[in-house]
């Protein structure tokens, strides 16, 4: 099983697959979903939804998450759209 969770975004023919490894980074940092949510100013349910691939975060939130873990956005989020490769 991959460390990245997969998210599908968009309703048009050009659907984008977005994967994330937030859960892995949380485990390395030994923090809970609640602690991460509080640090980012969002609800715990938002973190749960992102981790379970039910919600694609805004660019602002994606950058906040990356900044929190002191990594680049690309280290946490990976786009699998064939047009972007």
- All structural domains of the chain, each given as residue ranges with its CATH number in brackets, are 5-84 (1.10.260.40)
Query: CA-to-CA distance for 65 and 68, rounded, in angstroms?
Result: 5
Of 83 and 4, more confident: 83
Query: CA-to-CA distance for 85 and 82, rounded, in angstroms?
Result: 5
pTM, 2 dp: 0.77
User: Which of 73, 56, 58 lies closest to 11, judged by CA?
Assistant: 56
Beta bridge pairs of residue 42: none
Give the pLDDT band of residue 59 (cuts 50, 70, 90): very high
């Amino acid at each position: 099983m991959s460390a990245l969770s997969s998210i599908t975004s968009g309703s048009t023919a050009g659907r984008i697959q977005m994967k994330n490894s937030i859960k892995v980074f949380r485990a390395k940092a030994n923090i809970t979903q609640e602690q991460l949510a509080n640090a980012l100013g969002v609800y715990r349910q938002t973190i749960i939804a992102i981790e379970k691939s039910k919600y694609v975060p805004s660019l602002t939130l994606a950058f906040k998450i990356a900044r929190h873990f002191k990594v680049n956005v690309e280290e946490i989020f990976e786009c699998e759209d064939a047009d972007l490769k």
